[in-house]
Each structure stands twice: as structure tokens, then as C-alpha cells.
Amino acid sequence: MKEFQLKYGCNPNQKPAKVFMRDGSDLPFEVLNGRPGYINFMDALNSWQLVMELKEATGLPSAASFKHVSPAGAAVARPLTATDRRMYFVEQEDVSPLASAYIRARGADRLCSYGDWAALSDVCDASTARYLKDEVSDGVIAPGYTDEALEILKTKKKGNYNIIKIDAAYVCAPQEIKDVYGISFEQGHNNFKINKELLANIVTKNKDLPEEAVRDMILSLITLKYTQSNSVCYVKDGMAIGVGAGQQSRIHCTRLAGSKADNWYLRQSPKVLELPWKEGVRRPDRDNAIDVYISDEYEDVLRDGEWQKVFTRKPEVFTAEEKKAWIATQKGLTVGSDAFFPFGDNIERARKSGAQYIAEPGGSIRDDNVIETADKYGMVMAFTGMRLFHH
């Protein structure tokens, strides 16, 4: 296929629209079902690069959940715990490694992953397809699909679910061109490889970097490579649990990503896990209710009686003091940044969410202050020397 006609571009008024190869060659993908749109393809092609690189760097099946050309979550395969199954609403018994990667990627921020684009590093199996089938999602990209998986996915969205098969052997041109306001920009494709060697320059007094933290640093940096800048990413146990994207200020990135990491952890608290759901409440409604429950707005919801729509009884308030105490038990997080931290305040904020390991380029005139702040808390920080802006 030489080109794919789109209904419209970013917005319905932007017509005509299509995707094609400038050199006239065939497109490196096949649309197996549905009719993806402009933003769908942007999400698909960015998310595919992320999971492809993550699989290459870790050797583990990888997945991402994208919304508006940034990841809401990304993860590598890990066995699901009993808590994971409860907080991600996993009812099926069979969970393949690839399915676990997607469940965890989507679980990072289930509110932001609503209507996501899913990316899978490996051939989509029936286990992954079964979980995807019951989630609100716009489409999926993978290097292939088993017959059973394809049959399951084709039942989504009344048969209109977007399914793209990407050629795993495709290598893009070394130069890329982008038009803005009728003006063309050309640059080399970002082929920079993120691996363990990038983390050799540990600048803090504490230099104890375990293999799990190395994996999480790599995951955070690869995630940032495909996140709209400025961006900061919090990672735990092979899973991005907080992504702050597209902020003008570095500290706002750190706060945004940190608040998402806090919310992810709050979902594991006994108060949330034991919420008294009414029978038949859908996953998205549960996600929305949990988001309100752990927010500062819940007391208003109790007063208004809105709780009756989803709960069998009135849940008690999760107080600010209780939430703060629970978050304080979170430990061992890794935080990556796509550019240097200009002040130590970013380290202070990351610490409040349990950060122990930091990966950032370095190069600020205040690097000494940033290192000093990390040393104050016994953190391990690696300077990568490489900025990862993505626009």
C-alpha cells in the first residue's frame, strides 16, 4: 500500500489528509481492521518505537498505553501479584507475559489511558486480546496477531476497532522532515541507544545501583524519549507509574509525574482495595470513582450522595493525613528526566514520592546543588550526558 487516506487531520476541518512515504515506497504497516485517524497513527508510530526499543534494551515483552502522542504508561512483562489483579481489574486466569506488560502499562494511569492506543512489542496473543477487549481503547499496533487474538479484537467497537500490523523489520530513513506553517524542518532521526553503559557516570556519594534500578532507569529514559517535552518519568518495578509530559517548567513536570505516582500507590491502599462496589459497575466508572475517592473532593461527593451510584454503602473519607502517611511508605522509585534538573527542588519533590534513584543528563550551572540535595537523602544519581527532547 502506497498511501492511506484519512477522514481528516488533527481536526475535522483539516482536509484532505493522508499518510504516505515520501520516496513512493510501500507503507511499512497494514491496517487489519478499522480506519485509524491522523492522531491514531501518530500514537501508533510513536508508541511502537517505544516498545520496540524497550524490548531490545531489556529483552522482555513490552507494552505502552498512549494518548495524544505521549505515553500514559509503559511497562515490561512481570508476573502480576494479587494486588495487581485487584487494582487493574484482572478477572481472567490466563495472563501471558505480553498481557502482563500491557495490563501494567495501562494500570499506571487508568484515567489517562481511557480511550488509549495500545502498543505491543510482540505478536499479540489471545490473553492480551482478552484483556484489551474489555477496556475502552481506540486501537492497537503490534508486529503480528494470532488468529484467535485477531478474532477477539475484531469484536471491539462493533467491529470497528483499529488494528495495525507493523513490519518489525522496518528501519526508517536516517533523515526526517516535518512541515510547520508551510516551512520544512529536517533533522537526523533520533537513533540514540539507551542502555546500561549510559548510566556509568554516578555523581552521588551513594553509588549502589542494583540491576532492578538499572532496568527502571532504562525504562524511564526510553519512555521519555517518546514523551512530549518537558517530561519527567517515575518508575517502579519495571513500570512507568507517573509521566509528566509537555510542561513548560521542569518542577511542574516533576510535580505532575509525582502526583500520578502517588495516585498509583494510593490505589493499592486497603481503603481503596476494599471499596464496596455495586454489582456490574464498569471499569471506567470504577476508575472515575477511585480518582474522586483519593482526591480532596470526596467529602463533597459524600454530602451530595453521589456515592450511591457506584457503592453499596457510604465509604468513609480517606483523610489527608491517612493519604500522606500511606504515600510515605512508598520506597525505591526511579525518576528520569529528559533534560537536566536546574534546581534541587526537583529532587526534594521526587523524594516525597519515594524516589531513591535518579537519571538525568546533568549540565546545569547548579549541578552541585542538585547533587548535594540527592546526597542529603542518600540517593543514587547518574548523569547520562544526553538530552531526550521530543516534539
Q: Helix, strand, or coil here: 99?
A: helix
Centre a 10 Å sphere on the Cβ of residue 96 and count the other Cβ atoms it contains: 18
Return the half-sphere exposure (C-beta side, CA atoms, 13 A cut-off) of residue 57.
27
Per the structure block, which three cell numbers stand in for 85?
A: 489483579
Q: Cell 515520501 identifies what position?
A: 22
335-373 burial: b if 16+ Cβ within 10 Å, else e? bbbbbbbbebbbbbbbbbbbbbbbbbbbebeebebbbeb
User: N- to C-terminal Cα distance for the chain?
Assistant: 28
Q: Which of 156, 82, 92, 151 is nearest to 118 (CA)?
A: 156
Distances, alpha carbon 136 to alpha carbons 112, 113, 122, 140, 309, in Å: 11, 8, 21, 12, 20
What does the DSSP 8-state code read for residue 309? G
Q: Cell 484482572 identifies what position?
A: 90
What does the DSSP 8-state code read for residue 249? S
Distance CA 142, CA 119 (A): 6
Residues with active-site annotation: 67-68, 230, 391
Q: Which residues contact 163 (CB under 8 A, 6 or more apart)?
A: 31, 32, 33, 34, 139, 140, 145, 150, 153, 154
Task: Decide the pairing of beta strands 333-337 and 240-245.
Answer: unpaired
Round the CA-based radius of gyration of the chain to a whole number and report it.
21
Measured at the CA of 344, the angle between CA 341 and CA 346, to 5 degrees, comes to 60
- Contact criterion met (CB below 8 Å) for 175 and 206: no
Per the structure block, which three cell numbers stand in for 269?
A: 491502599
